[in-house]
């Protein structure tokens, strides 16, 4: 009797999702908090928009640059560790072979069971290095061009997120009226974004949405109260 083939569905775009989460989370929260804080002291939507878009420009550049440097650092770290492993399998092959045995031992294999794999890896230096990078150091080879992609993704996500809380100020000239519309729109956006983030990361959708909404709301409320108290 034919069996239904087992198809595994794994999410493999973790890096891209992480970048979107970083950019969108800050993009929704920081301009929202800034606009709310300024509304506590200023009644003109025009001034708030000017400050808000300036913050989005600066924030997206800073966040994108941070993502670029982080990805470059990961790539440089991987290259440095790989070079070290390539040198070690030449200079201290017995030590590296013992490390392979220890790795297999941690998975419950005996020395006899791992011996053939160790012998095979000794004949294939590049595969041996790949094995050590993944199973000894837990490092995966960075995707080519990852640094630039990360920077652009974070920056664009920040811009998209930042425009949402400012959209109400584009419609209403009265900043205080715009604030309440912005609060509603942004909290909904935070909840939806948090739910989508939870869906991709395996976190319960409702909990992720509520957490994201709560954090963004508290940030905006704190900024508003501080600005109102000193104005």
Closest to 200 (Cα-Cα) out of 50, 9, 14: 14
Residue 122: inside a domain: yes
Same structural domain, 105 and 218: no
Same structural domain, 128 and 214: no
- Rounded Cα distance between 183 and 195, Å, is 18
Same structural domain, 74 and 160: yes
Over residues 120-143, the mean pLDDT reads 82
Which range of 94-108, 144-158, 190-204 scores highest in mean pLDDT? It is 144-158
Q: Using DSSP, state whether 174 is helix, strand or coil.
A: strand
Which range of 81-95, 156-170, 193-207 scores highest in mean pLDDT? It is 156-170
Among 102, 136, 170, the domain-final residue is: 136
Residue 6 has pLDDT above 60, yes or no: no
Cβ-contact 168, 185 below 8 angstroms: yes
- Contacts of residue 75, Cβ cutoff 8 Å, sequence gap at least 6: 142, 146, 147
Number of domains in the chain: 2
- Per-residue pLDDT tens for 45-68? 888 899 999 999 999 999 999 989
- Which pairs from 4-10 meet CB under 8 Å and 24+ separation? none
Same structural domain, 29 and 64: yes
- Per-residue pLDDT tens for 75-117? 888 888 889 888 888 888 888 888 888 888 877 777 777 788 7
The pLDDT of residue 223 is 66
| Token code pair at residue 183 | 């609060």
Residue 151: inside a domain: yes
Same structural domain, 123 and 168: no
The pLDDT of residue 220 is 67
Residue 121: inside a domain: yes
Same structural domain, 164 and 214: yes
Same structural domain, 55 and 103: no
Domain housing 212: 17-37+45-80+147-224
Cβ-contact 187, 52 below 8 angstroms: no
The pLDDT of residue 54 is 93
Residue 155 has pLDDT above 80, yes or no: yes
Residue 4: inside a domain: no
Same structural domain, 163 and 97: no
Same structural domain, 170 and 154: yes
Residue 131: inside a domain: yes
- Per-residue pLDDT tens for 17-26? 788 888 887 8
Record the pTM.
Answer: 0.75
Higher-scoring residue by pLDDT: 188, 224? 188
Same structural domain, 70 and 29: yes
Residue 104: inside a domain: yes
Higher-scoring residue by pLDDT: 146, 221? 146
Residue 229: inside a domain: no
- Rounded Cα distance between 195 and 192, Å, is 5
Residue 7 has pLDDT above 50, yes or no: no
Residue 49: inside a domain: yes
Same structural domain, 111 and 171: no
Residue 13 has pLDDT above 70, yes or no: no
Cβ-contact 67, 22 below 8 angstroms: yes
């Amino acid at each position: 009797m034919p069996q239904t083939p087992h198809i595994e569905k794994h999410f493999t775009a973790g890096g891209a999702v992480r970048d979107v989460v970083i950019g969108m989370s800050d993009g929704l929260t920081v301009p929202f908090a800034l606009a709310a804080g300024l509304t506590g002291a200023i009644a003109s939507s025009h001034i708030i928009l000017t400050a808000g878009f300036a913050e989005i420009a600066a924030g997206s550049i800073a966040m994108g640059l941070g993502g670029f440097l982080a990805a470059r650092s990961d790539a440089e770290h991987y290259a440095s560790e790989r070079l070290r492993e390539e040198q070690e399998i030449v200079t201290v092959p017995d030590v590296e072979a013992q490390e392979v045995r220890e790795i297999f031992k941690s998975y419950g294999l005996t020395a006899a069971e791992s011996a053939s794999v160790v012998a095979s890896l000794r004949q294939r230096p590049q595969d041996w290095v790949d094995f050590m990078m993944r199973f000894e150091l837990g490092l995966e080879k960075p995707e080519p061009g990852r640094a630039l992609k990360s920077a652009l993704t974070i920056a664009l996500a920040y811009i998209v997120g930042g425009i949402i809380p400012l959209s109400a100020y584009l419609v209403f000239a009265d900043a205080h009226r715009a604030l309440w519309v912005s609060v509603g729109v942004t909290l909904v956006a935070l909840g939806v974004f948090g739910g989508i983030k939870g869906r991709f990361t395996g976190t319960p959708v409702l909990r992720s949405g509520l957490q994201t909404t709560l954090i963004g709301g508290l940030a905006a409320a704190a900024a508003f109260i501080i600005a109102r108290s000193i104005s």
